[in-house]
Amino acid sequence: MFGEFIKERRIARDITLRKFCQELDLDASNWSKVERGLLSPPQDEEKLRRIADLIGITQGSDEWQTMKDLSRLGAQMLPDDIASDRRIVNALPLFFRTVRSDKPTVEELDRLIELIKKEA
């Protein structure tokens, strides 16, 4: 999901894969695999900042936080049933933003988990 997120924004800014990789000193073959979800996304904060700057994402914005969340999610192994459900994976950054700002109680989280299980 991280790769798709970056690729969409790269293309929207009319930046080719080759140009993107040249600007960030990345190997185009490996980065292509990141965009296709075959390799884990970068975790280094400085590299994420440079990527964000290049594709027009403002640090501290919701889009910045989404990019960071997707990067972290991509580096972790989600259970197959969750990872294969695009709706759930796409909703995770919104879920994280909500949890960060509202700090739900344990009971609220339990109810949310039950709702997600019913919908999935």
Domain boundaries, the chain: 2-119
* Helix, strand or coil, per DSSP, at residue 101: helix
* Helix, strand or coil, per DSSP, at residue 5: helix
Q: Express each pLDDT in 57-96 by its tens digit.
A: 999 898 998 899 889 877 665 666 776 777 777 777 777 7
| Closest alpha carbon to 45 in 8, 71, 82, 24 | 71
Domain covering 2-119: architecture: Orthogonal Bundle (1.10)
Residue 44's alpha-carbon distances to 75, 88, 99, 116, in angstroms, are 12, 25, 24, 31
Q: pTM for this one?
A: 0.67
